[in-house]
Amino acid sequence: MSSTTFTYEENNIVKTILSGCNVLVNFLMGAIVALPILFAVVKDFNEPSAPADIIMLHILLCVPGYQLLMSHSFLSLCPYNSWSSTLKKTNQRRAHWILQLLASGMAISGSIIIMIYKDTNFKLESFLM
The residue segments making up the domain with residue 35 are 12-121
Distance CA 51, CA 73 (A): 32
User: Is 4 a domain residue?
Assistant: no
Q: What is the pLDDT of residue 53?
A: 86
Distance CA 60, CA 19 (A): 29
Helix, strand, coil percentages for the chain (3-state, nearest 5)? 70, 0, 30
User: Is 95 a domain residue?
Assistant: yes
User: Is 116 a domain residue?
Assistant: yes
Q: What is the pLDDT of residue 85?
A: 86
pLDDT (tens digit, 0 to 9) for every residue of the chain, 129 residues total?
Answer: 556 665 556 788 888 888 889 889 889 999 999 999 998 888 877 777 678 888 899 999 999 999 999 999 999 998 888 888 899 999 999 999 999 999 999 999 999 998 888 766 556 565 555
Distance CA 49, CA 85 (A): 46
Give the chain's domain count. 1
Q: What is the pLDDT of residue 107?
A: 95
User: Is 109 a domain residue?
Assistant: yes
User: Is 37 a domain residue?
Assistant: yes
